[in-house]
Amino acid sequence: MKSDGQMAIPTDWVKSERQVERERLRKQRSRRSSSIATVSTILVIILLFWVFTNSPGWPRVQETFFNSEQFVNALPEVLSGFLLNIKIFLIAEPLILIVGLLVALTRNLRAPVFFPLRALAVAYTDIFRGVPTILVIYLVGFGLPALGLQGMPTDLATLGVIALTLSYGAYVAEVFRAGIESVHPSQWAAARSLGLSHGRTMRYVVVPQAVRRVVPPLLNDFVSLQKDTALVATIGPLDALRQAQIHAASTFNYTPYLAAALLFILLTIPMARFTDYLAARSQKRRGQ
């Protein structure tokens, strides 16, 4: 120990006994936490199972919804119908992104010459966010072909894609617009001060930041879109829901609906995990 106020400079760190003991206690505590979590989860599952299987109607529900024989019979056709759902989804998704971004950008145009476009964009979002998706599907599905215009598609799945794009495009446009508006004004000031025009500022500075921010809400909308592809069944194409309906109608057994539900879940879970992955990745990059 020096007396003149200079402190000794520590050399290498050797864990003190106090620290070793601390870490032992921490480990012990975390082991206890995880065993408590396991036990309580098992108890909850048992309880739920007991409540369902002991309800008075359970035998009938089991017969009509959880019939393994019906499940195996219906699955191939429900699955083939489900491929149409995936196809509708995969085509509609990029179209929705394009429509949504274009509408959001149109609403942000400042030049007076674009006033009609801007008004049109506002009217579009107002109308298609207000009308229930299923009504849009009916109106497009039965209305568009009735116009008899040349080149108008008559394929029901195509009409379904158009309807979903119109309906979801309005939502996604609002998501993009919120993202654009969330970019801080100082970013606009910095970009404009460098001589970038409104359009270039949008393209290189604002939209890239906005898009990164709205990825989670967008994916959420897409999970919702995956389910809503089933609404197209109402105008006729043979998707998973329609196939399940056909089966159920001939056997009076609802297990095919359960099969369809399972397929939708199998599709949405990877999407949810993908959202988590993207969030974690951007977190990691920011945290450096």
Partner 1 sequence: MSLLTIEGLWKNYHGHNVLRGIDLTVEAHEVVCLIGASGSGKSTLLRCVNLLETADDGTIHLDGEEITDVRADADGVRKRMGIVFQAFNLFPHMTVLDNITLAPRKVHKVGREQAEAQARDLLARFGLAAKAGSYPDQLSGGQQQRAAIIRAMATQPRLMLLDEVTSALDPELVTEVLGVIRELKEGGMTMILTTHEMGFCREIADTVCFLDGGVLLERGTPEQIFSNPGRPRTREFLQSVIDARRL
What is the x/- site pattern for partner 1, positions 197-216, by CB under 8 A?
x--x---xx--xx--x----
The verdict on 193 binding partner 1 (CB under 8 A) reads yes
Residue placing its CB nearer to partner 1 in the complex, 210 or 241: 210
Contact stretch for partner 1 (CB under 8 A) within 8-16, 145-153, 157-165, 181-189: 181-189
**Interacting residue with partner 1 among 54, 68, 154, 288 (CB under 8 A):** 288
Q: Does 187 bind partner 1 (CB under 8 A)?
A: yes
- Smallest gap from Cβ 183 to partner 1, in A, equals 10
* Contact in structure between 92 and 279 (CB atoms under 8 Å): no
Of the pair 103, 191, the CB lying nearest partner 1 is at 191
Residue 280 near partner 1 by CB under 8 A: no
286 sits near partner 1 (criterion: CB under 8 A): yes
Shortest separation between residue 189's beta carbon and partner 1, angstroms: 5
- List the one residue from 194, 269, 279, 280 that touches partner 1 (CB under 8 A): 194
Query: Minimum Å distance from CB 10 to partner 1?
Result: 24
Rounded CA Rg of the chain: 28
User: Which of residues 191 and 232 has its CB atom nearest to partner 1 in the complex?
Assistant: 191
Which of 25, 83, 98, 189: binder of partner 1 (CB under 8 A)?
A: 189
Q: Is 150 in the site for partner 1 (CB under 8 A)?
A: no
Nearest-angstrom CA–CA distance, 185 and 178: 14
């799945």: which residue's tokens?
157
Q: Between residues 18 and 286, which has the closer beta carbon with respect to partner 1? A: 286
Provide, rounded to whole angstroms, the least separation between the CB of residue 98 and partner 1. 21
SS3 for the chain, per residue?
A: CCCCCCCCCCCCCCCCHHHHHHHHHHHHHHHHHHHHHHHHHHHHHHHHHHHHHCCCCHHHHHHHHCCHHHHHHHHHHHHHHHHHHHHHHHHHHHHHHHHHHHHHHHHCCCCHHHHHHHHHHHHHHHHHHHCCHHHHHHHHHHHHHHHCCCCCCCCHHHHHHHHHHHHHHHHHHHHHHHHHHHCCHHHHHHHHHCCCCHHHHHHHHHHHHHHHHHHHHHHHHHHHHHHHHHHHHHHCCCCHHHHHHHHHHHHCCCHHHHHHHHHHHHHHHHHHHHHHHHHHHHHHHHHC
Count of residues in contact with partner 1, rule CB under 8 A: 20
CB of 105 to partner 1, least distance (A): 18
Residue 190 binds to partner 1 (criterion: CB under 8 A): yes
Residues that bind partner 1 (CB under 8 A): 186-187, 189-197, 200, 204-205, 208-209, 212, 285-286, 288
